[in-house]
Structure 1
């Protein structure tokens, strides 16, 4: 994982530089981009008595975007806008995988309730985004 201050996100490529977001011919990419709420990450760590993220950094979750200050609806079909142009449709919950157990024992279970593991989505409109950009719920 690499943390960057700004990045292009497109329908064809997903997050620039992340091959997993690329749209393949004849396939619907419901996991083109992933998001996790900082509050959900912190709640999972707190449940394990691991305050302030000392045990694990959010990037261990391998989500593309970390958002804060906004609770996303736990509902597929929700459209989220980031920055001036990017629009993402939430397609499903991002279930935590067994890799989370290697990060911190018990983390997979702590990320399971209430979509704490994050959100999967597909890009509806391309956009350049940067750390600190406004995030809005459109629908």
Structure 2
């Protein structure tokens, strides 16, 4: 069976998006293109904060929009980007939510203080079963 990559996400308005790439040779370039398309679909809301969106969801959205391509980032990098959208945000809150996202397996952590870096967990290949 050919490898299969499945990407699922939910927009701020609650719409579920599922994209599947299947084929003998799935290129990294194709996966990046799909992720960029997903970013465009999600950002079509113009960066408007959805009613009822939690702080954790807002921070996760900022991470995916700005670092979703696999770029490593620090707490300070994320804080600098997120604070433009959320002026009352504190760096300690960013740190707390990033730790929770690491615990959930959504982010990968590398290094130790003061050089800790994070990135979005890589897309996993799913085995296709008959």
When normalised by structure 2's length, the TM-score is 0.32
More helix by share: 2
> Which protein has greater RCO, CA pairs closer than 8 Å, 6+ apart?
1
Q: Larger Cα Rg: Structure 1 or Structure 2? A: 2
